[in-house]
Amino acid sequence: MLIRIPRPGDGPTSEITDESLYLRRRELMRAGALAAGMLLLPGCGRAATGDEEPGAGDGSATGDALTSFEDATSYNNFYEFGTGKKDPARNAHTLRTRPWTLEIGGECARPATLDVDALLAQQTVEERIYRLRCVEAWSMVIPWRGIPLAALLASVEPTSRAKFVAFRTLHDPEQMPGQKRRVLRWPYREGLRIDEAMHPLTLLATGMYGRDMPAQNGAPIRLVVPWKYGFKSIKSIVSIELVESQPPTSWNMSTPDEYGFYSNVNPRVDHPRWSQKRERRIGEWGKRDTLMFNGYAEEVGELYAGMDLRKNF
């Protein structure tokens, strides 16, 4: 099947219609079942066994070598613990990840409050090797362990009014000292269209490199959407809400001319202050070309058919 990826300036384009903004209930359930059973989609790894050595594997599922465990856990964006790349690893020891509950509600028939450990015991946990691309033009390749978001959303039975999914992180300045500074409007918020959230590649990650998620990487549960920029990967999630209208997101609220709602990796659209055409893989010398949708165009390009990807950045 050929998938057309629209280019900026391809001529008149239209917004996606309401019908394509969300999946009906049966489609949601079907997508959830697909995600729960999917282990070997391109860009994915294998079912986690829990006995892998950190940094083990060659990244063959993505065609790239894995980023080292040390680099992936010491070079982070997590402003709740500081704005420097090394700050989260130094400061995140104050985060208490147990007990931890996740609230899921909004436009659904069966809202729930879930204990994270009980959730992990009940859900299929998989390992997937994904590229992570950050807007500052650096990238990593990480083996994530987690739960398909589609399976979790299907379990609460979204209604036909559920067109978007809103996420919120923990707000506790004592545990997260960076929240004492007005760098962003706390708590951190993020959002997806529901078809993006239900896509089989979208993961609620609970670990990496065969280990539980380190605090500086977003413990105990974070979002991973591999075709979007890293700031779309909200960490330490406490709330997921199905909503009818596009939810506010932290970076879009802070700097709307620089950070759009969609945040798709698109090398054809420059950030206002730098180019997106090239990137530096952490642990490597030099730069490489940035791939459309971070290399996942074949899997996700159809989600945005007919959209103006320059306007909807």
Q: Residue 203: beta bridge partners?
A: 148, 224
Instruction: Tell me: pLDDT of 306 over 80.
Output: yes
pLDDT of amino acid 155:
96
Q: Which residues of 76-107 are buried (b: 16+ CB within 10 A; e: fewer)?
A: bbbbbbbeebebbbebbeebebeebebebebb
Q: Mean pLDDT throughout 112-125?
A: 92
Asked if pLDDT for residue 198 goes beyond 50, the answer is yes
Q: What is the pLDDT of residue 307?
A: 96
Structural domain for 245, as ranges: 18-304
Question: In this prediction, what percent of the chain has a pLDDT beyond 90?
Answer: 77
Question: Is 312 domain-assigned?
Answer: no
Per-residue confidence (pLDDT) for residue 63, from 0 to 100: 75
pLDDT value, residue 174: 98
Residue 29 has pLDDT above 90, yes or no: no
Whether 13 is covered by a domain: the verdict is: no
Would you state the pLDDT for residue 20? Answer: 42
Residue 123 has what pLDDT?
Answer: 85
Residue 59: predicted pLDDT: 53
Residue 58, pLDDT score: 52
Q: Is the pLDDT of residue 34 over 90?
A: no
Q: What angle do CA 174, 106, 108 make, to 5 degrees?
A: 135
Instruction: Judge whether residue 248 has pLDDT over 60.
Output: yes
pLDDT at 21: 39
For residues 178-202, average pLDDT = 98
Assess if residue 311 is contained within a domain: no
Average pLDDT value over all residues in the chain = 86
Cα–Cα distance measured from residue 253 to residue 166, given in angstroms and rounded to the nearest whole number: 14
- At residue 312, does pLDDT exceed 60? yes
Identify whether 135 is part of a domain.
yes
Q: How confident is the model at residue 64 (pLDDT cuts 50, 70, 90)?
A: confident
Asked if residue 60 has pLDDT above 50, the reply is no
Q: What are phi and psi of 284, to 5 degrees?
A: -120, 160
Report yes or no on 195 lying in a domain: yes
The region of weakest confidence among 50-64, 175-189, 286-300 is 50-64
Q: Is residue 11 part of a domain?
A: no
Residue 254 has pLDDT above 50, yes or no: yes
Total of domains in the chain: 1
- CA-nearest of 210, 189, 192 to 201 is 192
Q: How far apart are CA 158 and CA 173, in angstroms?
A: 32
- Residue 19's CB is within 10 A of a number of other CB atoms, namely 8
Q: pTM for this structure?
A: 0.84
The reply to whether 313 falls in a domain is no
CATH number for position 68: 3.90.420.10
Least confident of 9-23, 49-63, 100-114, 130-144: 9-23
For the stretch 102-105, contacts whose Cβ atoms lie closer than 8 Å and that sit 24 or more positions apart, written own/partner, are 102/221, 102/237, 102/238, 102/239, 102/240, 103/238, 103/239, 103/240, 103/241, 104/152, 104/153, 104/156, 104/239, 104/240, 104/241, 104/242, 105/156, 105/239, 105/240, 105/241, 105/242
Place 38 in a pLDDT band, splitting at 50, 70 and 90: very low
The pLDDT score that the predictor gives to residue 313 is 94
Asked, for residue 7, whether it belongs to a domain, the answer is: no
Residues 6+ apart with CB under 8 A from 299: 41, 42, 43, 199, 201, 227
pLDDT at residue number 7: 35
Over range 100-115, report the average pLDDT.
98
